[in-house]
Amino acid sequence: MDQKPEEIELEKKRRMVERLADRLADREEAMADLRAALERFEARYTMEVGRLYAEQDEIDAQIAEEELKLVPDDEEIKKRVEELRRQAEESAARAAETEKHASEKWQPTAETRKAYHDLARIIHPDLVLDSEEKERRHELMAELNAAYSAGDQSKLTKLAADLHISPEAVTGGTVGDQLVRAIRQIAQMRRRFSELEVEKTTSETSERFELYQKVETQTAEGRDLLKHMAERAKTHIRKTQRRLENLKNVTAAQEGHVREAFGLDIDEFRKS
């Protein structure tokens, strides 16, 4: 029996959907790898260098606070104290949060990669048109990306098992409905390709990625750039720590002089 023109066109569109779904799964996997690599690098950077910068921010804030004790009416120093104290608190919070989620470098196994690819190909949000189902699949993709980045094979297996018994796994409709659905799926997947390309470009032009590449390059050449940065930060910390101690000595001497000469406790006066 000869196929109708719309049936022939539907087969063509279905084959295109299949090819695009495979390519999109590959692209999603590559982007997931890049995200995970940058997240792990950021965690390592914070552990080795970022925490030292946070420590430096805290010392800078303390120096400004000691300077304010010497000239308590200086409005510029007051503003500087507020800015540096806020920066120090933000740096400390950022470092603590990153260290909390720090993980060892993980390389996905062939089994994990295949599981990710197969699932991404099936549950991708751009393969459906219904808004509620699309939202549900966005949540599933987020779970999938998180499981993949964490190397959680059991979670990937569970996601696959849940998907196979999902009502959404059953398809149907007239030839016309299926043709329209395939055309829209193709359009949605092409938009997703564009979104992934923008995300990739944004990531690869960021300062974080530039530093990541430098570290990787120097590591391949037998050098440890992060260790070198950490040593420089430690040297600077030692210098500013000495400055802080000198300032503390000056303010302590000033307070002692006022106490002996006038019987006043400057520290209590400041608090009031």
Instruction: Taking residues 236-254, report their average pLDDT.
Output: 92
Neighbours of 3 (CB within 10 A): 11
- At 86 the pLDDT is 95
Indicate the pLDDT class of residue 170, thresholds 50, 70 and 90.
Answer: very low
pLDDT value at position 258?
66
Confidence label for 149 from pLDDT (cuts 50, 70 and 90) = confident
Return d(Cα 86, Cα 252) in angstroms, integer. 25
Residue with token string 């002996």 = 260
pLDDT mean over 126-134: 81
Residue 266 has pLDDT above 70, yes or no: no
Is pLDDT at 102 greater than 60 in this prediction?
Answer: no
* More confident position, 41 or 258: 41
Above 50 in pLDDT, residue 264?
yes
- Measure the CA–CA gap between 160 and 153, rounded to whole angstroms: 11
The C-alpha angle with vertex 145 and arms to 156 and 192, in degrees rounded to 5, equals 125
Lowest mean pLDDT among 52-66, 78-92, 98-112, 194-208: 98-112
Higher pLDDT, 45 or 130: 45
Residue 27 pLDDT > 80, yes or no?
yes
The mean pLDDT of 135-151, rounded to a whole number, is 84
**The pLDDT value given to residue 175:** 87
Q: What is the pLDDT of residue 48?
A: 93
Residues in contact with 264: Cβ distance below 8 Å, sequence separation at least 6, in sequence order:
258
How would residue 211 be classed by pLDDT, with cut points 50, 70 and 90? very high
